[in-house]
Amino acid sequence: MEMANVIGLILIFGLVLVSAFYQLSAFIWSLLIGVGLIGVTIAGLFSPITLIVVWSIYLIAALFTNLNLFRQQYVIKPALNFLQQQMPSISATEREALEAGNTWWEKELFSGRPEWKKLFNTPKPTLSDDEQQFLDNQVEQLCNMLDDWQVVYEERDLPKNVWDFLKKEKFFGMVIPKQYGGLGFSALAHSTVVMKIATRSISTAVNTMVPNSLGPAELLQHYGTEEQKSYYLPKLATGEEMPCFALTAPEAGSDAGSIPDKGIVCRGQHNGKEVIGIKLNWDKRYITLAPIATVLGLAFQLYDPDHLLGNKENIGITLCLLPTSHPGVEIGTRHYPMQLAFMNGPTRGKDVFIPLEWVIGGEKMLGQGWRMLMECLSIGRSISLPALSTACGKVTYRYTGAYARLRRQFNTSISSFEGIEEALGNIAGYTYMLEASRLMTAGAVDLKVKPSIASAIAKYHMTEMSRTVISHAMDIHAGHMIQSGPRNFLANLYIASPISITVEGANILTRNLIIFGQGAVRCHPYLLKEVELISAANPNIKELDRVLMSHVGFFVSNLIRNIAYGLTGGRLIFSSIKNKRIRQYQKQITRMSAALALLADTSLMLLGGSLKRRERISARLGDILSQLYLASAVLKYFYDNNKPNSDVDYVCWSLQNCLQKIQIACDELFNNFPNKWIGKSLSWIIFPFGAAYLYPKDKLHKDIVKPMLEPSDFRNRLTQYCYVSEKENELGFRLEKSLSMMSVIEPLWKKLMQAVKSGVVSQKLDWQERLNAAQQAGVITADDARLLNEFEILRSEVIKVNEFSFDLKQVIA
Ligand SMILES: Cc1cc2nc3c(=O)[nH]c(=O)nc-3n(C[C@H](O)[C@H](O)[C@H](O)COP(=O)(O)OP(=O)(O)OC[C@H]3O[C@@H](n4cnc5c(N)ncnc54)[C@H](O)[C@@H]3O)c2cc1C
Q: Which DSSP state fits 339?
A: G
> Using an 8 Å Cβ cutoff, are 739 and 402 in contact?
yes
The answer to whether the CB of 252 is under 6 A from ligand 1 is no
CA of 537 to the centre of ligand 1 (A): 36
CA of 282 to the centre of ligand 1 (A): 18
Measured CA to CA, the distance from residue 76 to residue 65 in angstroms comes to 12
CA of 191 to the centre of ligand 1 (A): 23
Average pLDDT, the chain: 94
CA 629 to chain centre: 9
β-partners of residue 297 are 245, 321
- pLDDT tier for residue 179 given thresholds of 50, 70 and 90: very high
Measured CA to CA, the distance from residue 304 to residue 129 in angstroms comes to 51
The answer to whether the CB of 94 is under 6 A from ligand 1 is no
Return the closest-CA partner of residue 436 out of 457, 453, 422.
457
pLDDT tens digit string along 725-759?
999 999 999 999 999 999 999 999 999 999 999 99
pLDDT tens digit string along 755-777?
999 999 999 999 999 999 999 99
Q: Is the pLDDT of residue 539 over 90?
A: no
Nearest CA to ligand 1 atom 7: 287
- pLDDT tier for residue 476 given thresholds of 50, 70 and 90: very high
Question: Would you list the DSSP string of 628-681?
Answer: HHHHHHHHHHHHHTT--GGGHHHHHHHHHHHHHHHHHHHHHHHHT-SSHHHHHH
> 626 CB contacts (<8 Å, ≥6 apart)?
457, 460, 461, 515
Burial class (CB in 10 A: 0-12, 13-18, 19+), 320: buried
> Using an 8 Å Cβ cutoff, are 518 and 455 in contact?
no
Most distant CA atoms of the chain, gap in Å: 103
pLDDT tens digit string along 584-614?
999 999 999 999 999 999 999 898 878 878 9
> 679 CB contacts (<8 Å, ≥6 apart)?
669, 670, 671, 672, 673
User: Which listed residue (504, 530, 736, 797) is catalytic?
Assistant: 504
Nearest ligand 1 atom to the CA of 246 is: 11
Measured CA to CA, the distance from residue 477 to residue 486 in angstroms comes to 15
Amino acid type, 164: D
The answer to whether the CB of 207 is under 6 A from ligand 1 is no
CA of 502 to the centre of ligand 1 (A): 6
Nearest CA to ligand 1 atom 12: 248
CA of 509 to the centre of ligand 1 (A): 9
Measured CA to CA, the distance from residue 224 to residue 228 in angstroms comes to 6
The answer to whether the CB of 499 is under 6 A from ligand 1 is yes
464 is catalytic: no
- Write the CA distances from 256 to 295, 409, 463, 703, integer angstroms: 21, 51, 21, 46
> 132 CB contacts (<8 Å, ≥6 apart)?
none
Nearest ligand 1 atom to the CA of 290 is: 8
Given this model, what pLDDT does residue 518 score?
87
Nearest CA to ligand 1 atom 43: 509
Q: Which of 53-57, 208-212, 402-406, 605-609 has the lowest mean pLDDT?
A: 605-609
The answer to whether the CB of 509 is under 6 A from ligand 1 is yes
Measured CA to CA, the distance from residue 139 to residue 159 in angstroms comes to 16
> Using an 8 Å Cβ cutoff, are 172 and 187 in contact?
no
Nearest CA to ligand 1 atom 14: 286
Q: Is the pLDDT of residue 375 over 90?
A: no
Beta strands in 714-806 (DSSP E): none
Measured CA to CA, the distance from residue 215 to residue 220 in angstroms comes to 8
